[in-house]
């Protein structure tokens, strides 16, 4: 979700606060978060989605990483997997996965995409929105290359 917020801040340099709903929809909330809350409650999934608020200073600072000690604020595999497991759409799973190539993260993304596709095929609308094949996760993340160390 933070990547979505970072993208919004990149496109809108005057935005100070962004809310990202668990389906990947982002809202600039400098003047209130009513639209984000409404979207979270009234959506095609028929259930309330989670909303995470990001501040420009926090997101852009994390994007730079902490160069003083050589470390970055990259999420651990466990954190990404937890985000993937709660994602509501295939598009959201892909946004969380980003370019990550860690084996366990890619496997969790494939599993969640498969679950969302099954829900869509069985008539449940939870995974509606993006029916992209889970095999694209391999191609997009180059998982045939050497996986990075697990964190």
pLDDT digits (tens, 9 = 90+) for 47-102: 888 888 988 888 877 666 544 444 555 788 888 998 899 888 998 889 898 888 89
Helix (H) or strand (E) holding 90: helix 90-97
DSSP character for 59?
H
Note the Cα 136 to chain centre separation in Å: 16
Instruction: With beta carbons less than 8 A apart as the criterion, state whether 97 and 105 touch.
Output: yes
Instruction: With beta carbons less than 8 A apart as the criterion, state whether 83 and 1 touch.
Output: yes
Helix (H) or strand (E) holding 30: none
From CA 37, how far away is CA 35, in angstroms rounded?
5
Reply yes or no on whether the pLDDT at 37 is more than 50: yes
Mean pLDDT over 4-11 rounds to 88
Reply yes or no on whether the pLDDT at 135 is more than 60: no
pLDDT of residue 137: 61
Q: Which of 51, 43, 52, 100 is nearest to 77 (CA)?
A: 100
pLDDT of residue 99: 87
Reply yes or no on whether the pLDDT at 29 is more than 50: yes
pLDDT of residue 19: 92
């Amino acid at each position: 979700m933070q990547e979505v917020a970072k993208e919004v801040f990149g496109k809108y340099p005057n935005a100070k606060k962004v809310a990202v709903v668990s389906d990947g929809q982002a809202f600039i909330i400098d003047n209130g978060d009513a639209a984000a809350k409404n979207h979270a409650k009234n959506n095609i999934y028929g259930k309330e989605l989670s909303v995470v608020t990001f501040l420009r200073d926090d997101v852009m600072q994390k994007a730079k990483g902490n160069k003083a000690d050589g470390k970055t604020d990259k999420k651990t595999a466990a954190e990404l997997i937890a985000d993937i497991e709660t994602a509501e759409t295939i598009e959201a799973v892909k946004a969380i996965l980003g370019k990550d190539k860690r084996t366990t993260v890619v496997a969790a993304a494939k599993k969640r995409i498969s679950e969302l596709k099954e829900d869509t095929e069985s008539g449940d609308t939870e995974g509606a929105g993006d029916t992209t094949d889970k095999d694209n996760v391999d191609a997009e993340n180059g998982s045939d290359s050497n996986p990075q160390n697990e964190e």
